[in-house]
Amino acid sequence: MSRTDPHWEEFKAEAVEHPQHYGGGLNVYEHIKVVDAWGLGYRLASCTKYICRAGKKAGADPIEDLKKARFWLDSEIQRQEAARDQRAKEMQAAADLARRGGQV
């Protein structure tokens, strides 16, 4: 499609707002709709974005997209592990304090 086409502006808006490599605006499984419906945070949304577009975005290497997805998944795993470890430390500190009868 060229800029002289009467539907150019509509095509350009669709390419920006609902790109086909993320499912397109009419698809109920378009990436942004799934992210909103599932309440995914930034890292998991980034992970699923690269999975959704792997092999679909013109000029993008699908292996690179999958590696990017793995990067974001690993980042989320590390974040959740750190949060879990922090909670465990806090629970242990509270249990130790209770065992001492509240004495620091």
In a domain, 39, yes or no: yes
Reduce the secondary structure of 4-71 to three states and give it as a string.
CCCCHHHHHHHHHHCCHHHCCCCCCCCHHHHHHHHCCCHHHHHHHHHHHHCCCCCCCCHHHHHHHHHH
In a domain, 50, yes or no: yes
In a domain, 104, yes or no: no
Q: How far apart are the first and last CA of the chain?
A: 72
Tens digits of per-residue pLDDT, 91-101?
Answer: 999 999 998 88
Task: State how many domains the chain has.
Answer: 1
Tens digits of per-residue pLDDT, 14-59?
Answer: 655 666 666 666 778 888 888 999 999 999 999 999 999 999 888 9
pTM over the 0.85 mark: no
Residue 65: how many other CB atoms lie within 10 Å: 20
In a domain, 92, yes or no: yes
User: Structural domain of residue 83, as residue ranges?
Assistant: 8-99
In a domain, 2, yes or no: no
